[in-house]
Structure formats: structure tokens, C-alpha cells
Amino acid sequence: MTVNAARALAGARTCFVGIGLPSAAANLARRTAQPELVLVYESGALGAKPSRLPLSIGDGELADTADAVVSVPEMFNYWLQAGRIDVGFLGAAQLDRYANINTTAVDRGPDRPEGRLPGAGGAPEIAASCGAVLIVLRHSTRNMVDRLDFVTSVGHGSGPRDRSRLGLLGKGPVAVITDLGILRPDPGTAELTLTEVHPGVTVEQVRAATGWPLKIAGTVAVTGPPTPAELAALRAMKAA
């Protein structure tokens, strides 16, 4: 999953990085096929080059290795909201068929308080303003749901015209990379469609792990396995 997420950054110049799995993928891309990739973190670090995976957006390693550190208002007002970032990389606790994201709260059932999640952070602005958005998360019916318990960040809303109606910049989510495969929005409906599976994974496995009737592409490809160089870079990064 991490390797394919890193590969999805091919051709990008700048990436606004979410913490966790997106950070691992973006840093792996910079160590392999995209050495010139500029990593941007919402804490204000521009061009960060951490020697290990940062613990959070406030990790001192990001500021120590950055080309520049700016204020958070400048980061959002000048760099992000003005459309100066090529790709935004996000995770999700829940995702629906139109790639809308929930990272705020989940319904835990009758007579139980709602489960509170880390919250929005900069994700709504990343999803709204980057040229394109990549999403990475584990694939299960718990995460891939028919209806979000809370809409934190808008992907494609309820269809292909919602982003323009809301005045959002960029193309929105262009790929969802999971531990089972890759989903991409249908050009006509914007509904997520399975286009690739990882080696050893079947279409039926992906369908069973999805909380809505999943659309399947006419031809489902198989992703290439990680190369020795990619695995070595990933292991070294996590061991640092």
C-alpha cells in the first residue's frame, strides 16, 4: 500500500503531506523515484527532508531539515488556498463512494457516546485547494462506508458537479490507495471504481470489504510488486 501510494506521486513537484500513512508514502517517494519532490507540512515546513518518519506535523525534524519555515497563516493563505500545491495526501477514518472523508467523529451505536477522532486539522483545506488529492487508508467495511457519520473534508460531494458548485479548486481525489487495491473516480459519475488490485487480492475480496455496492472497472489490473530498492528505502526509513 505504501509503495503504491508513493508511486502515485510520480510527476508531482509539491505535496502537502498529512501525517501517518500519507507521510510514509510521501517520504518514500522522495527517497526513490521523486528525489526533487518538495514536501510541505501544515505546521509551516516547506521542503522538509526528514531523516526518519516524523511523529507529527510539529516534529522538530521537519523544521530542522526544511528549506524554509513560515507561519501557519502564510502556509494556508498564500501556499495552500491560492492553489500553489500540486498534490494533497490525506488519510481517512471513514470514506464514502464519492471520496468524502470523515476524521471527526463516528457513531458507536445506541446508548454509547460518539467516538471522537483527531479532527479536521488542515484536511478540509487540503481537499479543497490542492491540484489533486490522493487518499490512503485500510480497506474494510468499517472504513469504506455507505454513509459518513460526519463529513470532515469534501471529495466529490454527491457527484461530478459538486466541487465546481462549491467553488473548490483542483480536481479533488484522483485515487484512493488501500491495502487491497486502488480505486479511482469514474469520469462521468465521480463514484469510486476499482481499477487495480494488489498481487494475490481478488475482486471479490475488495467488494466484500466495501460498505457499498462497489463499481468495478471493465479491466482490473494488478499492481506491480515492490522492488528491492523500494523495500530497502521503506525499511531504512522506518528503522531510523
80 vs 99: CA distance, rounded Å: 20
191 is catalytic: no
Greatest C-alpha distance within the chain = 51
**Conformational region of residue 167, where left means phi above 0, alpha means psi within -120 to 50, and beta covers everything else:** left
48 vs 74: CA distance, rounded Å: 16
Of 185, 174, 193, 182, the C-alpha closest to 222 is 182
* DSSP code for 91: -
Can you read off the three cell numbers belonging to residue 200?
494475490
CA angle (121, 147, 156) in 5-degree steps: 60
64 vs 1: CA distance, rounded Å: 29
Active-site position among 36, 42, 61, 196 = 42
Sign of the CA dihedral 143, 146, 150, 153?
A: positive
| Single-letter amino acid code for the residue at 206 | V
Of 210, 237, 38, 86, the C-alpha closest to 138 is 210
Give me the active site residues, please.
Answer: 42
